[in-house]
Structure 1
Amino acid sequence: MFPTKSILLAFLLLATGGVARAQVTLPQVQVPNLPGLPTEPLNRTVNDVLDQADPQRLRELRQVRIRHLLRTNRTVLEADPRGAPIVRSEVVALSPTPAALDRARAAGFGIGRTRTLEGLDVSIVVLQAPQGMSTRRALERLRREDPEGTYDYNHVYLESGVVPAAAAEETSVVASNGSPAVTARVGLIDGGVQRSHPVFNGVNVHEHGCTGGAVPSAHGTAVASLLVGQGDVFHGAAPGAELFAADVYCGLATGGALDSVAEAFAWMSREKVPVINISLVGPANVLLERIVRVVTARGHIVVAAVGNDGPSAPPLFPAAYPEVVAVTGVDAKQRVLVEACRGKHVDFSAPGANMSAAGIEAPFGVVRGTSFAAPLVAGLLARQLLAVGGKEQAEAAIADLAARATDLGARGVDKIYGNGLVGNDLRPPEQLSLAAH
């Protein structure tokens, strides 16, 4: 007998906590092979379960995952006072003065990784708390010693979407180079990309991060395909565009940490990538806010997913920063995803449910979440802003896209759909959606 929706949601909560031990990636939404409980029908019902979930419970999905992440990586991760994951015993400073570093050394702090963010004209210094001092006390001490400086936790940012397990059988749908390529450059800050996937044939992919080599992830590959993938039956928002992909996870338990995200932004700036997609979410962080402000002031557009903590959850970042283009997701009936965050920061809505995207274990899979709506908006903007210009040019591209959006919900800009729906014609064809199951 097939389980009820309440049981399915419980399994989904457990699965969301089932993160790989060594890599911060989104889990496969799949349950153990229990007698009488077929996993494939369960995978097919993920969208239905979420559509009818209690909005007040949706925030628990990410909280369960965070608790599991902290529990299984307690030697290197811990929670900040609000429960967000941070790298244990690390405080990050933005362009600290030599005098401030001397005071930190005198107080027993170790000077760890130093990242000169060429292209942004700032630097990031990771400070190690003295032995026996908590990370919270370490941050308080540094802020007290240098009140003019900028210090914060080394927060870890997580993906904002679900990549369900793909069907075991192979699909007959094969991507090729049939889609007309566009002349554009777009950036991706996420997990690694499986470059050998057919949808990336003919796509110029530049990779950054992971000294030991690329570490493809299901989430990064799916988002990248929705950005630049191309083929006869599948294409992203900017098919064939030049992709600059920064892997900030690299298979590490500390993947997605602020200092890696900051370095990714700097690389994009050096490479003069006009539009940068980041489908990651987490807490407010003063260093991330400053870096985003610097990047956008230079004429880059930053597009981010609003997150999937539910309509009553507080805003997630970087999407909630005013300089960022924040994207929510809608289903095939143009209804906002029940799990999508809401607020006055929402700028656009785009398809984010029953979306086919490139997979790792199978050619294609069906994905869901605001993570997969964001790249559609980023791709559309990249097709308009072909080079980094001034801030005015970036704002004009955003305004042009807003003018072409289909108004949904309350008339005009609202907290649910923003300026309205874009990219609805980018939904995959029914043939591919069925084959992906």
Structure 2
Amino acid sequence: MRLFATVILAGALSLAAPASAQVVLPGVPLPNVGDTVGQVTGQVEGVVGEADLVTGRIARKLERARLSRITDLVRAHPDAIALDASGNPARKGVLLAMGADSASLAAAAGAGFAVIGHEQIAGLDLEVTRLSVPGGMELADAERALKQLLPDASVSADVLYAQAGRSIAGNGKGAPNSPTIDTPVGMIDGAPGAAIKVAAVRGFASGGGTPSDHGSEVAGLLAGQGVATIRVADVYGTDPAGGSALAIARGLGWLVQTGSKVISISLVGPRNPVFERAIGAVQRNGVAVVAAVGNDGPAAPPAYPASYPGVVAVSAVDRHDRGLIEAGRALHLDYVAPGAGIRAPDARGLWGKVRGTSFATPLVAARIAAALGATAKWRPILDREALDLGPRGPDKTYGRGLVCGNCAR
């Protein structure tokens, strides 16, 4: 039976793969398994175990689907998005530099890299210089050239980060629990709809504040676990190049300034020096950062910000407490939480099923916020709560264990 189900799954993925390479619109998940997993998981859950599901063949198909979506995204928005030197989607025509002196910037300007502006990110003590790409030069070539011109500075593209979950259906009604958690929680995402009550929303991309399903679902899950104060940094808006590293850094600064003690990030993307330094500054302010590992399977590159040191990396389990077949990976894993068979509200306030590590992340963030209400040391509380799954002790599939096992189900 196990072998038969595995063959069925592999065949279904082969049929579904072309449908997963879709054009992605602003605020809609980019590296998300979408139809590829959605068409097959219902057939195999309860039949095969995790070891049969997570095969090398499936992992490779998920990785190809991720690359296809990136290609489609760039083709859909050629005026706004380009690939950086590492093949990651990024804001077109702009490069970011940190630590460049005035003489070096003058030399770069002489080579066609005009300074767009210097920005001190409030709340993080982080300064970033934005430079334009010389006319006619590809972003990837410009990034390599600027690194040579500014050897003592940190140079990068303004890479884009994608939401790590998807809606399956939204046609029911529901209501969040009464607020019971006083610790303020911030989130980096799209904006929630009016039906989800949050303390504040601030936009960090053009069209900021435009309701999104993903932002609504993450905020709804936080509220559903009793978080009383939720602030949302909308890094997508209606911007085709939404979810950029600089927009996220700005959002993090605002969330720290306004008092968030936990920040939930259900986004994934590549390593980036601006984002990395922003995360470090947030952590130095004593704020816990909780992030999803993504849904591109175990063959995908390590997910960031989940892979940054000190970030609480979260994966997801299905309704049988098995790791999701599409769960990505990080350089470390802290906890898992339910990420399938759970319900959340969309931008219209309609409650439906969602799936992905995106939705496990706010559940863990809410539990950390609850623990911070009792003590500044939340880790021992979550470790006592966590149900050890898989091999005894921490492991690569379940981390330190399952948190919030009965939440949102």
Q: State the TM bucket, normalised to the shorter chain.
A: 0.7 to 0.9
CA contact (8 A) 1:343 1:415 kept: no
Residues 326 and 76 of structure 1, relative CA distance in 2, 3 Å threshold:
same
CA contact (8 A) 2:205 2:239 kept: no
CA contact (8 A) 2:306 2:330 kept: no
CA contact (8 A) 2:338 2:404 kept: yes
In structure 2, C-alpha distance between the alignment counterparts of 1:225 and 1:369, rounded to whole Å: 15
Given the alignment, which residue of 303, 317, 323 partners 2:310?
A: 323
User: Could you list the per-position Cα deviations for residues 271-319 of structure 1 after superposition, in whole angstroms to 9, with x for gaps in the alignment?
Assistant: 1211111111111112222221121122111110011111233311111
Match of 1:134 in 2: 138
CA contact (8 A) 1:29 1:165 kept: no
Q: CA deviation at 1:11?
A: 7.2
Tell me whether 1:253 sits opposite 2:240 in the alignment.
yes
The TM-score normalised by the length of structure 2 is 0.86
Match of 1:119 in 2: 123
Q: CA deviation at 1:82?
A: 3.5
User: Could you list the per-position Cα deviations for residues 404-436 of structure 1 after superposition, in whole angstroms to 9, with x for gaps in the alignment?
Assistant: 2111111111111111110112133xxxxxxxx
Tell me whether 1:414 sits opposite 2:395 in the alignment.
yes
In structure 2, C-alpha distance between the alignment counterparts of 1:333 and 1:107, rounded to whole Å: 58
Tell me whether 1:25 sits opposite 2:33 in the alignment.
no
CA contact (8 A) 1:185 1:274 kept: yes
> What's the secondary structure of 2:94's corresponding residue?
strand
CA contact (8 A) 2:27 2:214 kept: no
> What's the secondary structure of 1:346's corresponding residue?
coil
> What's the secondary structure of 2:145's corresponding residue?
helix
Residues 112 and 212 of structure 1, relative CA distance in 2, 3 Å threshold:
same
Paired residue total = 391
Residues 12 and 250 of structure 1, relative CA distance in 2, 3 Å threshold:
farther
Q: CA deviation at 1:321?
A: 1.1
Q: Structure 1: any 5+ residue segments left out of the alignment?
A: 32-41, 229-234, 429-437
Match of 2:167 in 1: 163
Alignment of 1:327-406 (within 5 A): 327-342=314-329, 344-360=331-347, 363-386=350-373, 393=376, 396-406=377-387
Residues 398 and 96 of structure 1, relative CA distance in 2, 3 Å threshold:
farther
Structural RMSD (CA)? 2.8
CA contact (8 A) 1:93 1:125 kept: yes
Residues 227 and 14 of structure 1, relative CA distance in 2, 3 Å threshold:
farther
CA contact (8 A) 1:292 1:323 kept: no
Alignment of 1:95-244 (within 5 A): 95-166=99-170, 170-171=171-172, 173-175=173-175, 179-194=178-193, 196-197=194-195, 200-201=196-197, 203-210=198-205, 212=207, 214-228=209-223, 235-236=224-225, 239-244=226-231
Q: CA deviation at 1:134?
A: 2.6
> What's the secondary structure of 1:216's corresponding residue?
coil
Name the amino acid aligned to 1:185: P
Q: Structure 2: any 5+ residue segments left out of the alignment?
A: 1-7, 46-52
Name the amino acid aligned to 1:269: V
Name the % identity. Answer: 36
Name the amino acid aligned to 2:316: G
Tell me whether 1:279 sits opposite 2:272 in the alignment.
no
Q: CA deviation at 1:372?
A: 0.6
The TM-score normalised by the length of structure 1 is 0.81
